[in-house]
Amino acid sequence: APSAPGAAAAPVAQNEAKAKEEAKAAGVADRTPPPSTADAAASPSSSFDRDAVLSELRALRVSELRSRLSELGIRWATMIDKDDLVRALADAMEAGANFSSSGALRPGEVADITDEELSLELGGGATTPLLLDVYATWCGPCQMMAPQLKEAARELGGSVRVAKIDSDKYQDWASKLNVGGLPTVIVFNGEGNELQRVEGALMKQGLVELARSHIY
Protein backbone atom coordinates (compact mmCIF):
# COMPACT_ATOMS: atom_id res chain seq x y z
CA ALA A 1 0.00 0.00 0.00
CA PRO A 2 1.29 3.52 -0.67
CA SER A 3 2.43 5.71 2.16
CA ALA A 4 -0.30 7.75 3.85
CA PRO A 5 0.39 11.32 4.97
CA GLY A 6 0.93 11.99 8.65
CA ALA A 7 2.21 15.05 10.49
CA ALA A 8 5.61 16.33 9.37
CA ALA A 9 8.23 13.62 9.71
CA ALA A 10 11.87 14.08 10.63
CA PRO A 11 14.19 12.74 7.90
CA VAL A 12 16.58 9.94 8.77
CA ALA A 13 20.22 11.09 8.93
CA GLN A 14 23.54 9.25 8.98
CA ASN A 15 24.63 10.69 12.31
CA GLU A 16 22.94 12.22 15.32
CA ALA A 17 24.33 15.73 14.88
CA LYS A 18 23.07 15.99 11.34
CA ALA A 19 19.81 14.35 12.35
CA LYS A 20 19.08 16.94 15.02
CA GLU A 21 19.38 19.70 12.43
CA GLU A 22 17.31 17.89 9.84
CA ALA A 23 14.60 16.96 12.38
CA LYS A 24 13.27 20.49 11.99
CA ALA A 25 12.56 19.96 8.33
CA ALA A 26 9.11 18.89 7.19
CA GLY A 27 10.08 16.91 4.10
CA VAL A 28 9.06 13.27 3.98
CA ALA A 29 10.66 10.78 1.62
CA ASP A 30 8.24 9.00 -0.69
CA ARG A 31 9.32 5.39 -0.32
CA THR A 32 7.87 2.20 -1.69
CA PRO A 33 7.55 -0.26 1.20
CA PRO A 34 9.05 -3.72 0.85
CA PRO A 35 6.47 -6.44 0.13
CA SER A 36 7.39 -8.55 3.15
CA THR A 37 9.88 -8.97 5.94
CA ALA A 38 8.80 -12.48 6.83
CA ASP A 39 11.66 -14.03 4.86
CA ALA A 40 14.20 -12.42 7.21
CA ALA A 41 12.33 -13.34 10.36
CA ALA A 42 13.02 -16.16 12.74
CA SER A 43 10.52 -18.81 13.84
CA PRO A 44 7.94 -17.98 16.52
CA SER A 45 8.66 -18.98 20.09
CA SER A 46 7.69 -22.40 21.38
CA SER A 47 4.32 -23.12 23.01
CA PHE A 48 3.60 -22.07 26.58
CA ASP A 49 4.54 -24.74 29.16
CA ARG A 50 1.94 -24.08 31.85
CA ASP A 51 3.03 -26.86 34.20
CA ALA A 52 6.62 -25.60 34.23
CA VAL A 53 5.46 -22.03 34.80
CA LEU A 54 3.18 -23.05 37.68
CA SER A 55 6.05 -24.94 39.30
CA GLU A 56 8.33 -21.92 38.96
CA LEU A 57 5.75 -19.48 40.32
CA ARG A 58 4.93 -21.66 43.33
CA ALA A 59 8.57 -21.36 44.38
CA LEU A 60 8.20 -17.57 44.71
CA ARG A 61 7.22 -15.71 47.86
CA VAL A 62 3.75 -14.18 48.13
CA SER A 63 5.26 -10.70 48.07
CA GLU A 64 7.05 -11.50 44.81
CA LEU A 65 3.86 -12.82 43.24
CA ARG A 66 1.94 -9.72 44.29
CA SER A 67 4.67 -7.47 42.92
CA ARG A 68 4.62 -9.20 39.54
CA LEU A 69 0.83 -9.05 39.38
CA SER A 70 0.95 -5.34 40.17
CA GLU A 71 3.45 -4.78 37.35
CA LEU A 72 0.93 -6.35 34.98
CA GLY A 73 -1.88 -4.17 36.31
CA ILE A 74 -3.70 -7.12 37.91
CA ARG A 75 -5.51 -6.52 41.20
CA TRP A 76 -4.69 -9.15 43.78
CA ALA A 77 -6.32 -7.76 46.96
CA THR A 78 -9.18 -10.29 46.84
CA MET A 79 -6.84 -13.24 46.27
CA ILE A 80 -6.51 -14.88 49.67
CA ASP A 81 -4.59 -18.07 48.90
CA LYS A 82 -1.11 -18.15 47.41
CA ASP A 83 -2.34 -20.55 44.74
CA ASP A 84 -4.84 -17.91 43.60
CA LEU A 85 -1.93 -15.53 43.02
CA VAL A 86 0.02 -18.23 41.20
CA ARG A 87 -2.83 -19.11 38.86
CA ALA A 88 -3.68 -15.47 38.14
CA LEU A 89 -0.07 -14.76 37.20
CA ALA A 90 0.18 -17.94 35.12
CA ASP A 91 -3.00 -16.98 33.26
CA ALA A 92 -1.55 -13.55 32.47
CA MET A 93 1.75 -15.05 31.32
CA GLU A 94 -0.03 -17.57 29.10
CA ALA A 95 -2.15 -14.83 27.52
CA GLY A 96 1.01 -12.85 26.85
CA ALA A 97 2.77 -15.85 25.32
CA ASN A 98 -0.15 -16.52 22.99
CA PHE A 99 -0.34 -12.83 22.08
CA SER A 100 3.33 -12.29 21.28
CA SER A 101 5.74 -14.58 19.41
CA SER A 102 8.74 -12.99 21.13
CA GLY A 103 7.10 -12.76 24.56
CA ALA A 104 8.01 -9.06 24.69
CA LEU A 105 4.59 -7.64 23.81
CA ARG A 106 1.58 -7.43 26.11
CA PRO A 107 -2.02 -6.55 25.27
CA GLY A 108 -2.75 -2.86 25.78
CA GLU A 109 0.91 -1.83 26.05
CA VAL A 110 3.66 -0.45 23.80
CA ALA A 111 6.85 -2.54 23.84
CA ASP A 112 10.22 -1.01 22.92
CA ILE A 113 11.65 -4.05 21.15
CA THR A 114 15.02 -5.29 19.91
CA ASP A 115 15.94 -6.47 16.43
CA GLU A 116 15.67 -10.12 17.49
CA GLU A 117 12.23 -9.56 19.02
CA LEU A 118 11.02 -7.84 15.86
CA SER A 119 12.24 -10.78 13.80
CA LEU A 120 10.19 -13.11 15.97
CA GLU A 121 7.09 -10.92 15.79
CA LEU A 122 7.32 -10.89 11.98
CA GLY A 123 8.00 -14.62 11.76
CA GLY A 124 4.43 -15.53 10.87
CA GLY A 125 1.64 -17.41 12.61
CA ALA A 126 0.29 -14.46 14.62
CA THR A 127 -3.47 -13.95 14.92
CA THR A 128 -3.31 -10.15 15.24
CA PRO A 129 -1.75 -7.33 13.19
CA LEU A 130 1.41 -5.58 14.38
CA LEU A 131 1.50 -1.77 14.62
CA LEU A 132 5.17 -0.75 14.59
CA ASP A 133 6.56 2.72 15.32
CA VAL A 134 10.06 3.27 13.90
CA TYR A 135 11.48 6.19 15.89
CA ALA A 136 14.61 7.94 17.17
CA THR A 137 15.24 9.53 20.56
CA TRP A 138 16.31 12.86 18.99
CA CYS A 139 13.20 13.09 16.80
CA GLY A 140 10.73 15.77 17.94
CA PRO A 141 7.68 14.34 16.13
CA CYS A 142 8.53 10.91 17.60
CA GLN A 143 8.50 12.34 21.12
CA MET A 144 5.19 14.05 20.40
CA MET A 145 3.61 10.79 19.23
CA ALA A 146 4.89 8.58 22.07
CA PRO A 147 2.06 9.30 24.57
CA GLN A 148 -0.49 9.05 21.77
CA LEU A 149 0.82 5.59 20.90
CA LYS A 150 0.44 4.50 24.53
CA GLU A 151 -3.17 5.67 24.58
CA ALA A 152 -3.87 3.92 21.28
CA ALA A 153 -2.38 0.67 22.61
CA ARG A 154 -4.64 0.81 25.66
CA GLU A 155 -7.70 1.21 23.45
CA LEU A 156 -6.66 -1.50 21.01
CA GLY A 157 -6.04 -3.99 23.83
CA GLY A 158 -5.55 -7.54 22.65
CA SER A 159 -6.76 -6.91 19.10
CA VAL A 160 -3.44 -5.48 17.86
CA ARG A 161 0.20 -5.93 18.86
CA VAL A 162 1.83 -2.52 19.38
CA ALA A 163 5.60 -2.02 19.39
CA LYS A 164 8.30 0.51 18.59
CA ILE A 165 11.94 0.14 17.56
CA ASP A 166 14.83 2.61 17.78
CA SER A 167 16.11 3.33 14.27
CA ASP A 168 19.52 4.43 15.59
CA LYS A 169 20.13 1.27 17.63
CA TYR A 170 18.85 -1.01 14.90
CA GLN A 171 19.87 0.69 11.67
CA ASP A 172 19.75 -2.57 9.72
CA TRP A 173 16.03 -2.81 10.35
CA ALA A 174 15.47 0.86 9.47
CA SER A 175 17.22 0.18 6.17
CA LYS A 176 15.43 -3.11 5.59
CA LEU A 177 12.09 -1.38 6.12
CA ASN A 178 13.11 1.42 3.75
CA VAL A 179 12.39 4.12 6.35
CA GLY A 180 12.74 7.61 4.89
CA GLY A 181 11.19 9.81 7.61
CA LEU A 182 10.60 9.59 11.34
CA PRO A 183 8.40 8.51 12.88
CA THR A 184 7.25 5.87 10.43
CA VAL A 185 4.29 3.77 11.53
CA ILE A 186 3.92 0.44 9.74
CA VAL A 187 1.15 -2.15 9.96
CA PHE A 188 2.01 -5.81 9.32
CA ASN A 189 -0.34 -8.76 9.13
CA GLY A 190 0.12 -11.93 11.15
CA GLU A 191 2.46 -13.40 8.53
CA GLY A 192 4.86 -10.46 8.66
CA ASN A 193 3.72 -8.83 5.41
CA GLU A 194 3.54 -5.04 5.32
CA LEU A 195 0.01 -3.74 4.76
CA GLN A 196 0.30 0.03 5.14
CA ARG A 197 2.61 2.76 6.43
CA VAL A 198 2.33 6.38 7.49
CA GLU A 199 5.32 8.72 7.73
CA GLY A 200 4.90 11.46 10.31
CA ALA A 201 3.33 11.70 13.77
CA LEU A 202 -0.26 10.57 14.29
CA MET A 203 -2.60 11.30 17.17
CA LYS A 204 -4.30 8.53 19.13
CA GLN A 205 -7.40 8.35 16.95
CA GLY A 206 -5.38 8.19 13.76
CA LEU A 207 -3.29 5.34 15.16
CA VAL A 208 -6.37 3.44 16.32
CA GLU A 209 -8.11 3.85 12.96
CA LEU A 210 -4.98 2.80 11.08
CA ALA A 211 -4.62 -0.37 13.14
CA ARG A 212 -8.31 -1.31 13.18
CA SER A 213 -8.57 -1.04 9.42
CA HIS A 214 -6.36 -4.15 9.24
CA ILE A 215 -7.89 -6.29 12.00
CA TYR A 216 -9.00 -9.64 10.61
Give the relative orientation of helices 62-71 and 82-99 as an angle to the nearest 10 degrees: 40
Catalytic entry in 111, 142, 163, 174: 142
181 by Cβ neighbours in 10 Å (0-12 / 13-18 / 19+) ranks as buried
Residue 188's H or E segment, with its range, is: strand 184-188
Reported for 54-58, long-range contacts at CB under 8 A and 24+ positions apart, including other chains, are: 54/86, 54/87, 54/90, 57/86, 57/89, 57/90, 58/82, 58/83, 58/86
Catalytic entry in 41, 57, 126, 139: 139
- Indicate if 142 belongs to the active site: yes
- Indicate if 139 belongs to the active site: yes
Give the relative orientation of helices 204-212 and 140-156 as an angle to the nearest 10 degrees: 60
State the Cα torsion 186-23-150-170 to the nearest 10°: 60
Q: Residue 98 in contact with residue 92, Cβ under 8 Å?
A: no
> What b/e sequence results for 41-56 when a residue is b if at least 16 CB atoms lie within 10 Å of its CB, and e otherwise?
beebeeeeeeeebeee
Would you name the residues annotated as active-site residues? 139, 142
